Structure 1
Amino acid sequence: MTETRVEHEATIWMVDDIPVRMFYAGHRWRITDTPTRLRESIWTSPGEPSRGLYGWRFQAVNDTGDVLMFDVYRGADDWHVHHTYT
């Protein structure tokens, strides 16, 4: 497994408060597993103090067939991809 730390904005669509689709890095991603809530995780992000962030971990596939595992968190105004795993 290869981990890549990233801090990029993402658009996430939710159904019943669970992520189902995402737009990230110029691609549409379809979530293909049951997302895991990361409510108690402590992450740091650029420009924000260390605090518990509300987020999710899930696997998703894009239109070209790439599959990644994502850690995403909700910032003040939008969603951010914190890590990706291949």
Structure 2
Amino acid sequence: MSVEVQMPLVQEFVEVWTNDAGQPERLVWRARRFRVTDTPTALVGPCDWWSPFTGHDVSPGRVPLEISGWRFQATAADGETHVFDVERVAGRWQVVRVFDLSRA
């Protein structure tokens, strides 16, 4: 049986390689190379240009969203596997959460 354990916020800069569509394919985290081993899921958040309007009521609409990062499973050559949440911060990729996948 597999148990998913969430680690606290990580906030470490990493190198991420993406395909032509912008989806992650591999990353280097803590001097280890991981290959993406599933289909990445887009993480969305409010558009940056919306920030000045944050406190305003947008009824009946909703706040405009954009892709703010990705969640994906990635595996190292030795089989170590994690689910990563990554975001672009100041033009660089940052890991913000890591979920360890281990056997119970």
Residue aligned with 1:30, SS = strand
Cα-Cα RMSD: 1.7
Give the distance between the partners of 2:89 and 2:67, measured in 1 at CA: 8
Which residue in 1 is equivalent to 2:55? none
Give the distance between the partners of 1:15 and 1:53, measured in 2 at CA: 15
The counterpart of 1:76, out of the listed 77, 80, 90, is 90
Contact 1:19–1:31 (8 Å) recurs in 2: yes
- Normalised by the length of structure 1, the TM-score is 0.81
The counterpart of 1:14, out of the listed 4, 15, 18, is 18
Considering Cα pairs closer than 8 Å and 6+ residues apart, tell me whether 1 or 2 has the greater RCO: 2
Residue aligned with 2:11, SS = strand
CA deviation profile, 1:48-82 (whole Å, cap 9, x unmatched): xxxx8710000000122100000000001310000
Q: In structure 1, give the amino acid aligned to 2:40.
A: P
Paired residue total: 76
**Structure with a larger share of its residues in strand:** 1
Output aligned runs, 1:1-86, within 5 Å. Answer: 1-4=4-7, 5-16=9-20, 17-40=22-45, 54-86=68-100
Q: Structure 1 vs Structure 2: percent identity of aligned residues?
A: 36
- Could you say which structure has the larger radius of gyration? 2
Give the distance between the partners of 2:30 and 2:67, measured in 1 at CA: 22
- Normalised by the length of structure 2, the TM-score is 0.68
Where structure 2 has 5 or more consecutive residues not aligned to the other structure, the ranges are: 47-65
